[in-house]
Structures are given as C-alpha cells and as structure tokens.
Structure 1
C-alpha cells in the first residue's frame, strides 16, 4: 500500500494533471491483450483457478505452526490413552489439517506405514504442483503485460505519425498518450502480477511445511512414539523462536492439567 501511495503522490505532484495518466484505450490494449494471451497459452480451467487463488490467498491468514503442532500432539496424547478412534473423534470438528485427518482414516482402515507415507506424500506433491502452476500463470502474465504495453505504444506512435502533417502541435500530447501504455504494462507486471505470483509461491512453501508436519505426525503415531518425543520431533522443523513459544505452550498445558488433577483430588 505504501508503494501505491508513493506512485500516486508522484503522479499528483507532477506538472501534468492526473487525468493525463488515464487512457481507457491503453488499458484495453494492455489488460485485454494480457488476459487474451493468458487464455491462449494456458487452459481456461487453470486461468480461472489462478484468479480464484488470488482471492483465497489474500483472504487466508498466516499458518500458526505452533497451534498446528499443539493440536496434533494433543491428539497423539489422546490416542495413546484412549485409542485411535478417540483421536479421530477429537479431530472431527477441527478445521484444516486435512492431511492429518486423511492419515488417521488410513490408520483406522488398516493401511501399512509405507502405504500411508506414499499416499500422503503424493497428495502433497500434487497439491504443491497445482499451486506452482498458479504461480507460473501470474509470472507469465507479468512477462506478457510489458510486451502489450509496448504494442500499445507502437499503435500510439503510428497514429501520431499519421497526424504529424495535419496537426504538428499535437505531437507532444500524442507521444505522451503513446507512452502511457508502456507505463500500464510495467505497473501491471511489477505491482500486480509478479507480486501475486510471489505471494502464491510463499503460500505454497507455507502449506508444504504445514503438510509435512502432518505427515510426520502420522508416521510418529505409526511408530508408537511418546507424545513428548513427537512434540520435540515436530518442533525441529521450526525456527528457534517458534520452538521456544511451542515449549511455553506445552508448559502451560501441562500446568493446567496438573492444576485440574489437584482440583479433582481435592
């Protein structure tokens, strides 16, 4: 937002009026041409999915890895005490963590450890592949937009040269209008399409880590590891600051449980 505000300030504070930077023919050439080229080079289904991912990504918040690990460790603890069915029931109404839920269902259905590992890793692999396709879509648009900006500039220059003999005084304004499309192409590429592509790639990495944690948690259940070991193993995927926060959360949970036991004893 700060970058947009600075560009707007640069336009408004200049000698020319802001209306000079508005040219609907240029917008139609650059934006329309970019969209048309995208539909030609990509399946329409992928294009619509990419546009939908734009709204999903900017609407979704950051993944709280500490909360994810804490929920799974709690489920592992319940499973060790009450069995897999109780663990599955605990996670029935929890939003997200679909990989962990699928793994629990496979565990209930009697899949082997290797079968579960292979199946879940394939799910994650293709999910990442779809997300990277959406990234590539917007990166492709970021490369196409400046090209159509140049096409718009050439069209404007041709029209300007055609009127050069009849209205030579309009050369300056005609050249300015011709260059507007180059401006549009660069703005679309570097302030919209490329940042969206980068945001999708960042979200894909975030999702990959979250899903990797879920697969690791399922495998720890198969290996019948203690919930404390499971927590420490999953914490190894986090940075030092997040690990400290996770240990604080785990410490508070243990303290609350201990206080609850004392109340029951009283």
Structure 2
C-alpha cells in the first residue's frame, strides 16, 4: 500500500548534492571530508545513547521508520475518496448478503490491511455499533502511541548526534596536540580532521534524524485521519445504513472539490 515518496528523495538528494557542490567548489582535497572512524564514533555513540534511553526494539523500529521515510502511506484525498466508495459498495453488499458476502468482496490488499481486517472481524463477532466504535478507537490510539514513540526516539538521536560530534572533535584535538611535538605545519591538517566529527554530527541530526522524526509524526497524523474514516464506515455498516447515507456521512472526511456527486436512491 505504500508508494515511493519522490519529495523525500528530491529533498535528500538536494541536501547531499549541495553539500558535495560546496566541497567540490571550495577545495580539491575531497578526501579530507571522508573519515570512517569519525563517522563510526558519532553514529555509534548516538546509537549507544539511544539504546540507553530506550529499549532495543524501540530503537530498531525507529531506524526502520527512518528508512521508510522514502515511502508514504495511502492518505491522499484520492485514496480517501476510493475508501469512501468502497464503503458505499459494502453497504449494499452487507445489507443483502451479510458478513459472509462482505468478507468475500474484500480484495487481497484490503484483506491485508490491519485496520480494515479488524473492523471486519468485529462485525463478524456481532458487536454493536457503539462497541465497534470503542474498539476501533482504542486500536487507533494504541497505534498512534506506538508510532509516536518512534518519532521521539529519532528526535532524541537528533539531539545526541551533534553533541557526540563535539566529543569526537575534542578527542581529535587531544590526540593532535599530543602528537604535535612542536611541528606547527601539521596543526591545520590535524584540526581539519578533528572537526570532521562535528560535521558528521550536525549532518546526521539535520539531514537524517530530525527530518525522519518529523515525517514519522506527519505520517501517523494522516494515517490516524484515515483510520477515523474507516472506523466511522464500519460503524455505519453495522447500523446497515443505505449507500446514500453512507456517502454523505463519509464525504465529511474529503475535500468538497474531490467528493463524489450525491447518489440518487433510497434514503
């Protein structure tokens, strides 16, 4: 259900590209900006601090969510319109054939959707409409809380990484001064290498962790809105509302310019 996010890819490539352009236009010695030991110190220390602050599972889920920033969930107005259309179709199917016909009408994608599957299962169990609303709302809130924690972990890592970049710089300066032995010619080169860790810390924070944290939060807000629509749809299905009533109620979740035209038929 997730599609590739071109805006994220463009932003990421633009950030890396502008940095590369700045380096290439300022110096011919590009190798000085590459240091695996400096990167390992900053990234490794940031991960260690995150593991101290949170559980291993939470940190791993946060890192996975950061990789998933290149994809976005189906929450566009076009998608919400399609969901509304499906509930309009399901209203007739459910009133005519019951829960069995409703389950048979699900596509493979819909059957694999955890929230839609949960709504179908609750209806199949025979719960009343208010119970379905309560249980689906509880699931929405629980999902929100779990994924909000991923954003908190990434924000914490964004705070830690510049600090560990400074730690790496201090360590590099100590080593540089200890090995100087009166050779002032090596001071500039050694200082440049020591500052690489600060550069890595700032880049990790502002180009990776902070944007990923913001996008994780934004995704969960849009998915929560989608789940509200689906939750309301299942409540209306359990009440055996007509297709016209279903469409008019669920259209409230969609922009007026995108909504379907009103159906004609029974009220």
Distance 2:166 2:254 in 1: 46
Q: Are 1:3 and 2:15 counterparts?
A: yes
Q: Give the corresponding residue for 1:44.
A: 56
TM alignment of 1:41-190, pairs within 5 A = 41-59=53-71, 61-63=73-75, 64-91=79-106, 93-95=108-110, 96-190=112-206
Partner SS state of residue 205, structure 2: helix
**Contact conserved, 1:75 with 1:91, CA < 8 A, in 2?**
no
**Contact conserved, 1:57 with 1:203, CA < 8 A, in 2?**
no
Distance 2:176 2:156 in 1: 31
The equivalent position to 1:199 in structure 2, one of 215, 223, 246, is 215
Residues 123-177 of structure 1: CA deviation (Å, up to 9, x unaligned): 1111111111111111111111000000011111212222344311111111111
Partner SS state of residue 258, structure 2: helix
Distance verdict in 2 for CA 1:138–1:181, change over 3 Å: same
Unaligned runs of 5+ in 2: 1-12
**Contact conserved, 1:113 with 1:222, CA < 8 A, in 2?**
yes
Q: Give the corresponding residue for 1:257.
A: none
Q: Give the corresponding residue for 1:261.
A: none
**Contact conserved, 1:39 with 1:47, CA < 8 A, in 2?**
yes
Superposition RMSD in Å: 2.1
Q: Give the corresponding residue for 2:229.
A: 213
Find the structure with the greater CA-based Rg: 1
Query: Once the 2 structures are TM-superposed, how far is the Cα of residue 187 of structure 1 from its aligned partner?
Result: 0.3
Partner SS state of residue 26, structure 2: coil
Query: Once the 2 structures are TM-superposed, how far is the Cα of residue 5 of structure 1 from its aligned partner?
Result: 1.0
Query: Once the 2 structures are TM-superposed, how far is the Cα of residue 51 of structure 1 from its aligned partner?
Result: 2.1
Residues 205-236 of structure 1: CA deviation (Å, up to 9, x unaligned): 12111111110001112333221221121121
**Contact conserved, 1:91 with 1:101, CA < 8 A, in 2?**
no
Unaligned runs of 5+ in 1: 255-266
Query: Once the 2 structures are TM-superposed, how far is the Cα of residue 60 of structure 1 from its aligned partner?
Result: 5.0
Scaled by the length of structure 1, what TM-score is found? 0.85
Residues 169-208 of structure 1: CA deviation (Å, up to 9, x unaligned): 1111111111111110000000011111111111111211
Runs of 4+ in structure 1 over 6 Å off: none
Q: Give the corresponding residue for 1:19.
A: 31
Scaled by the length of structure 2, what TM-score is found? 0.85
Distance verdict in 2 for CA 1:175–1:55, change over 3 Å: closer
